[in-house]
C-alpha cells in the first residue's frame, strides 16, 4: 500500500512538472523566434528575412507535431517519457536544420544553438532526475562537438563552454533539490513511524487490562491443577512461566508507546536458550523441525531482563519454525567475543527478499498471512534497550540468519 501511494504521488507530481515544462517550452520557443526572426530584423535591417531562413518553419512544425505524442503519453501514464522525447526532437531538428543550411551555404562559421538549450538545462533540476540531466548535458555537448569536427571550426568552443558552465549551476540546483526531497521524505517516514507507535500504545493500553484479567484466573486454576498432579510439576512449571510471560508481553507492548524501566540482572545465556528450546520444542516437533543448540562453554553472564530476552528468542525461533512448513533444521550458535555475547539463529526456510529486509521491524509490516508485524518490532525494541544489535541476512530458497549481539558489561544507568 505504501509503494502504491508513493507511485501515485510521484506520477501526479511528474504530470504537473511536465505540463508546466511544455507550457514554458512553447512560450520560450515562440517568443524567442518571434523576436529573433521578425522584430529584431525589422528594426536592424528594415525588413524581415524570415523567408531566407525558411527552415525555421520546419523546425517549429517538428516541435509542434510532438504535442499529440505528448498527449498520448499523458493518457498512457508515461509522462516521464515526454521530456526525453522533446530533447531528442530538439536535437534531431536542430541537427538537420544546421546540416541543410551548411550544405546550402558552405558557410563554415557556426551559427547554431537556441535559447531552448538554456531553458532545458536550467529546467532539468525540476524533474529531480540525474539520468535526464546527464542525457541532456552529454547530448548538447556531443552536438556541438560534432558540428565543430564536421565543419572544422573552433567557434563551437564558446557554446560548449556555456553549456558546461550552465550545467554546473544546474547540477548544484539538482543536488540541492534532491537533498531537500530526501530530507522531507525522511521527516515524513519518521512521523509515520511515530503515528504507528502511538496507535500501538493506545491499543496496548486499551486491551492490557482485558488480557490480564483472564490470565489471573488461568494462573490460579493452573496452580490448583499443579497441586493435584505433582507428578507433572515440570510441565505445569512451564505453563505458569508462559502465563507470566504473556502477562509480561502485554506490559511490553506499552513500551512501544512510552518508555519503560526494565529490571536487569546477571543471567546466563545458556540457561535462557535451553529454557526457550524446551518451550518451542513441541511446536517444532509438530512441524518436523529439529533445533540444534551449539553453546560455547564458560560464556560469562550478561546483564539483562530475563523475561524480555526469553521473549526475543521465542519470537525468533517461532519465526524460523513457521518459515519451514515442510520441516528442516534450526541452528542456534552462541559464543562470547570481547565484552559481548553473540547468538546466531539460522533456519533453512524460504528466505526473505532483499527489498523486504529493510522493512522488517516496522509496525504492522509482516510477511505472514496471519501476522501482525509486532513480534519483530518488539524484539528490536528489547535489543535496543539492552544496548545490543540485531542483523538479518537472508537468501531466497536457502534460509535466514538472525545475528544478535548483547553486551556482558553493565550500563549502570539501566540496572536496578
Counts for the chain of helices (H) and strands (E), in that order: 13, 7
What does the alpha-carbon distance between residue 74 and residue 53 come to, in Å, rounded to a whole number? 34
Asked if residue 42 is part of any domain, the answer here is yes
Last residue in a domain, options 155, 186, 213: 155
Check whether residue 251 and residue 272 sit in a common domain.
Answer: no
| pLDDT of the residue at 53 | 53
Instruction: Give the Å distances, CA to CA, from 362 to 312, 358, 390, 406.
Output: 16, 9, 14, 22
Check whether residue 108 and residue 144 sit in a common domain.
Answer: yes
| 407-414 contacts, C-beta under 8 A, 24 or more apart | 407/302, 407/303, 407/339, 407/340, 407/341, 408/300, 408/301, 408/302, 408/303, 408/336, 408/339, 408/340, 408/341, 409/303, 409/339, 410/264, 410/303, 411/303, 411/387, 414/261, 414/262, 414/264, 414/385, 414/387
Going by C-alpha positions, the residue among 375, 384, 13 that lies closest to residue 185 is: 13
Domain that holds residue 227: 200-257
Check whether residue 15 and residue 149 sit in a common domain.
Answer: yes
- The residues, ordered by sequence, that sit 6+ positions from 255 with a Cβ below 8 Å of its Cβ are 378, 381, 385
Check whether residue 383 and residue 276 sit in a common domain.
Answer: yes
Report whether 320 contacts 348 (CB < 8 A).
no
pLDDT digits (tens, 9 = 90+) for 281-312: 888 888 899 999 998 888 888 888 888 888 88
Asked if residue 170 is part of any domain, the answer here is no
What does the alpha-carbon distance between residue 319 and residue 282 come to, in Å, rounded to a whole number? 15
Check whether residue 316 and residue 290 sit in a common domain.
Answer: yes
SS3 86: helix
To the nearest whole number, what is the mean pLDDT of the chain? 80
Q: Does the pLDDT of residue 328 top 60, yes or no?
A: yes
Q: Does the pLDDT of residue 163 top 50, yes or no?
A: yes
Asked if residue 340 is part of any domain, the answer here is yes
Check whether residue 299 and residue 271 sit in a common domain.
Answer: yes
What does the alpha-carbon distance between residue 400 and residue 393 come to, in Å, rounded to a whole number? 6
Q: Does the pLDDT of residue 211 top 70, yes or no?
A: yes
| pLDDT of the residue at 122 | 92
Check whether residue 131 and residue 253 sit in a common domain.
Answer: no
Check whether residue 210 and residue 297 sit in a common domain.
Answer: no
Last residue in a domain, options 257, 275, 292: 257
Q: Does the pLDDT of residue 23 top 60, yes or no?
A: yes
Band (pLDDT 50/70/90 cuts) for residue 24 is very high
Check whether residue 94 and residue 138 sit in a common domain.
Answer: yes
Report whether 373 contacts 366 (CB < 8 A).
yes
52 or 14: whose pLDDT is higher? 14
Beta bridge partners of 275: none
Q: How far is CA 68 from the centre of its chain?
A: 36
- How, if at all, do strands 340-346 and 389-395 pair? unpaired
Q: Does the pLDDT of residue 390 top 80, yes or no?
A: yes
Going by C-alpha positions, the residue among 348, 339, 334, 216 that lies closest to residue 276 is: 334
Asked if residue 162 is part of any domain, the answer here is no
Check whether residue 279 and residue 231 sit in a common domain.
Answer: no
Q: Does the pLDDT of residue 415 top 50, yes or no?
A: no
Asked if residue 193 is part of any domain, the answer here is no
Number of structural domains (the chain) is 3
Q: Among 193-207, 332-346, 369-383, whose mean pLDDT is lowest?
A: 193-207
Asked if residue 184 is part of any domain, the answer here is no
Asked if residue 364 is part of any domain, the answer here is yes
Q: Does the pLDDT of residue 339 top 80, yes or no?
A: yes
Last residue in a domain, options 155, 171, 187: 155
Q: Among 19-23, 321-325, 399-403, whose mean pLDDT is lowest?
A: 321-325
Check whether residue 210 and residue 286 sit in a common domain.
Answer: no
What does the alpha-carbon distance between residue 121 and residue 113 come to, in Å, rounded to a whole number? 13
Asked if residue 160 is part of any domain, the answer here is no
Half-sphere exposure at residue 57, Cβ-oriented, CA atoms within 13 angstroms:
6
Report whether 401 contacts 316 (CB < 8 A).
no
Instruction: Say which CATH number the domain at 295 has.
Output: 3.30.565.10
Check whether residue 309 and residue 249 sit in a common domain.
Answer: no
Cell 502465563, located at residue? 243
Amino acid at each position: 500500500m505504501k509503494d502504491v501511494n508513493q507511485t501515485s504521488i510521484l506520477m501526479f507530481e511528474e504530470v504537473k512538472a511536465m505540463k508546466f515544462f511544455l507550457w514554458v517550452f512553447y512560450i520560450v520557443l515562440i517568443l524567442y523566434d518571434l523576436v529573433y526572426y521578425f522584430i529584431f530584423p525589422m528594426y536592424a535591417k528594415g525588413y524581415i528575412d524570415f523567408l531566407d531562413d525558411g527552415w525555421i518553419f520546419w523546425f517549429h512544425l517538428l516541435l509542434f507535431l510532438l504535442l499529440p505524442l505528448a498527449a498520448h503519453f499523458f493518457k498512457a501514464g508515461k509522462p516521464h517519457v515526454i521530456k526525453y522525447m522533446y530533447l531528442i526532437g530538439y536535437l534531431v531538428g536542430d541537427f538537420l536544420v544546421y546540416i541543410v543550411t551548411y550544405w546550402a551555404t558552405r558557410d563554415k562559421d557556426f551559427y547554431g544553438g537556441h535559447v531552448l538549450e538554456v531553458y532545458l538545462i536550467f529546467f532539468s533540476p525540476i524533474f529531480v532526475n540525474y539520468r535526464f540531466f546527464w542525457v541532456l548535458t552529454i547530448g548538447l555537448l556531443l552536438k556541438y562537438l560534432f558540428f565543430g569536427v564536421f565543419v572544422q571550426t573552433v567557434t563551437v568552443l564558446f557554446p560548449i563552454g556555456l553549456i558546461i558552465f550552465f550545467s554546473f549551476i544546474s547540477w548544484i540546483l539538482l543536488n540541492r533539490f534532491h537533498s531537500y526531497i530526501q530530507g522531507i521524505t525522511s521527516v515524513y517516514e519518521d512521523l509515520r513511524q511515530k503515528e504507528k507507535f502511538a496507535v500501538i500504545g493506545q491499543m496496548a493500553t486499551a486491551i492490557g487490562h482485558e488480557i490480564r484479567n483472564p490470565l489471573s484466573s488461568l494462573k490460579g486454576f493452573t496452580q490448583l491443577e499443579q497441586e493435584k498432579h505433582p507428578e507433572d510439576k515440570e510441565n505445569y512449571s512451564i505453563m505458569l512461566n508462559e502465563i507470566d510471560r504473556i502477562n509480561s508481553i502485554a506490559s511490553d507492548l506499552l513500551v512501544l508507546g512510552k518508555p519503560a524501566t526494565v529490571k536487569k540482572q546477571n543471567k546466563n545465556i545458556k540457561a535462557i536458550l535451553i529454557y526457550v528450546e524446551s518451550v518451542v520444542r513441541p511446536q517444532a516437533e509438530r512441524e518436523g523441525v529439529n533445533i540444534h543448540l551449539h553453546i560455547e562453554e564458560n560464556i560469562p553472564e550478561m546483564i539483562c531482563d530475563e523475561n524480555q530476552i526469553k521473549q526475543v528468542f521465542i519470537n525468533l525461533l517461532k519465526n524460523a519454525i513457521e518459515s519451514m512448513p515442510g520441516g528442516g533444521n534450526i541452528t542456534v550458535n552462541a559464543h562470547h567475543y570481547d565484552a559481548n555475547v553473540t547468538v546466531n539463529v539460522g533456519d533453512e526456510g524460504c528466505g526473505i527478499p532483499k527489498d523486504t529486509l529493510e522493512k522488517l521491524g516496522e509496525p504492522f509490516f509482516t510477511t505472514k498471512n496471519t501476522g501482525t508485524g509486532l513480534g519483530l518490532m518488539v524484539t528490536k525494541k528489547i535489543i535496543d534497550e539492552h544496548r545490543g544489535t540485531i542483523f538479518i541476512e537472508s537468501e531466497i530458497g536457502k534460509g535466514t540468519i538472525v545475528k544478535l549481539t548483547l553486551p556482558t558489561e553493565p550500563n549502570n544507568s539501566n540496572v536496578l
